[in-house]
Amino acid sequence: MAEPAAPKSVAPWNNPRVRAVTFQAVALVLVLWFFWTIFQNTLTNMESRGITTGFGFLDNTAGFGILFSLVPYDESNTYGRTFIVGILNTLLVSSLGILFATLLGFIVGVARLSSNWLIAKMALVYVEITRNIPLLLQIFFWYFAVLRALPGPKQSLEFPFNAFMNNRGLYMASPDVEPSFWFVVATFVAAVVGSVVLIRWAKKRQDATGQRFPAWPTAFALVIGLPVIVFWLIGAPLLWDLPALEGFNFKGGVRLIPEFIALWLALTLYTASFIAEIVRSGIQSVSHGQTEASMALGLRRGTALRLIVIPQAMRVIIPPLTSQYLNLTKNSSLATAIGYPDLVAVFMGTTLNQTGQAVEIVAMTMAVYLTISLSISLLMNLYNRAMALKER
């Protein structure tokens, strides 16, 4: 405490330092007593219900199937495995949701500021509708009213590139990779590395001599062109595994389950409307004088946007964007309402029901979300520090 020491004549109950110590001691004792009581109650309750404590249950056989898994899983695997499957499914839908919500959010946010009245108003209508309707309702809408209401496999909707959609999900062609295809991948990686070197060199040369080099178009041509040339040179070693109707269902290709599509779509559309508002207010926060000054320097509109406006807008955008990413990750737990097997649905739902190990399971689940939350905010804080105003 920054206050000066109280004179000696003050009674102890009027001395701020004595008061602070007493107050904190009482608070600490109360909190400890609270947790101790809960701990005792829990032990007694679990004993009377015959629940054993500890994490031993993680090695037991789960015995239930999971609809969708990124790692091999079947009923003979352990409860520990269900934990991993759940985490991976949560991470999958959150990362895809974050990616697409950011893209859509930036597009809509810029559209709201468009000089085209129609586009600006359409973006406004989109934002006001999606962000004022609960996410769970939107998930239900996409899942029960749209995706589950699609016709069966025999009357599937057909899309370009051999994609089919029916009430069992979206079927798409999947690449069938032959060993020599890895040459193409290697070329792609080499092209990306080469482009980075090229862009660095071009920037250095421009800083030193003022001469410009079209680094970005060249890099683009390298990254796209080289792999394509190599691909044809070695004889197009890529076959597509096409989905085809066999009997009552589709075989081949890759299948996205409707639960995943509904959750991903709703998360993306809902979060994008919040991101759009963040982007709009970020761009509007850059004063118009900055644009005018860059015009006066002779920068073109696109260049001014890229070099002057957007870096300044990003400073305002990043902190609220971070909390939207966190919200999306936490909201992905609504999966449990439609049965997409995320961490909450699999582990806190089925596994908890089967084992009854409420304390351990809830603690593990919450720990995972806390870890994800803290990691995302750490990453975004690092990025924020890199983008923040550098004052001398």
Partner 1 sequence: MAEMTPTGGAPADSFRPIPPRPPPSSAVGPVRWVRENLVSSPLNVLLTAIGLYLIWLIVPPLIDWALVSADFFGSSSDDCTSDGACWVFVGARFQFFIYGFYPDPERWRVNIMFLMLAAFLVPQFLPGTPAVVRKWLGIFGLTLYPLITAVLLLGGVFGLPAVETGKWGGLMLTLVLSYVGIVAALPIGILLALGRRSHMPIIRTICVMFIELWRGVPLISVLFMASVMLPLFLPEGVNFDKLLRALIGIVMFQSAYMAEVIRGGLQGIPKGQYEAAAALGLGYWRATGLIILPQALKMVIPGIVNTFIALFKDTTLVLIIGLFDILGAVQASIVDPAWGRVAVEGYVFAAFCFWVFCFGMSQYSQGLERKLHTGHKR
Tokens representing 65 are: 């199937």
CA distance 288 to 279: 16
CB closer to partner 1, 128 vs 292: 128
**Nearest 5 degrees, angle CA 301-CA 302-CA 303?**
95
Q: Could you give the angle at which helices 117-131 and 258-285 cross, rounded to 10 degrees? A: 120
> If you search the block for the tokens 């908890």, which residue do you land on?
352
Q: What phi-psi label fits residue 298: left (phi over 0), alpha (psi between -120 and 50 degrees) or beta?
A: left
List the one residue from 195, 294, 322, 331 that touches partner 1 (CB under 8 A): 331
Contacting range for partner 1; rule: CB under 8 A; set: 94-102, 114-122, 226-234, 243-251? 114-122
Span of 4-12, 65-73, 137-145, 203-211 interacting with partner 1 by CB under 8 A: 137-145
Q: Which stretch binds partner 1 (CB under 8 A): 26-34, 68-76, 163-171, 256-264?
A: 26-34
Confirm or reject binding of residue 137 to partner 1 (CB under 8 A): yes
Cβ–Cβ < 8 Å for 244, 252: yes
Residues 271-330 within binding reach of partner 1 (CB under 8 A): 287, 330
| Among 162, 249, 291, 336, contact with partner 1 (rule: CB under 8 A) | 336
Q: Is residue 155 involved in binding partner 1 (CB under 8 A)?
A: no
Q: Is 18 in the site for partner 1 (CB under 8 A)?
A: no
Q: Which is nearer to partner 1, 37 or 206 (CB)?
A: 37
The distance of closest approach from Cβ of residue 164 to partner 1 in the complex, given in angstroms and rounded to an integer, is 22
3-state secondary structure of 11: coil
29 vs 189, which CB is nearer to partner 1? 29
Scan residues 190-219 and list those touching partner 1 (CB under 8 A): none
Closer Cβ to partner 1, 11 or 149, answer by number: 149
Q: Which of 70, 145, 189, 386 binds partner 1 (CB under 8 A)?
A: 145
Closest CA to 338 of 66, 87, 140, 151: 140
Residue listed under structure tokens 């990124």: 70
CB 387 within 8 Å of CB 381: no
Is 53 a binder of partner 1 (CB under 8 A)? Answer: no
Which residue carries 């290709």 as its tokens? 253
Which residues sit opposite 250 in a β-bridge? 245
Beta carbon nearer to partner 1, 288 or 392: 288
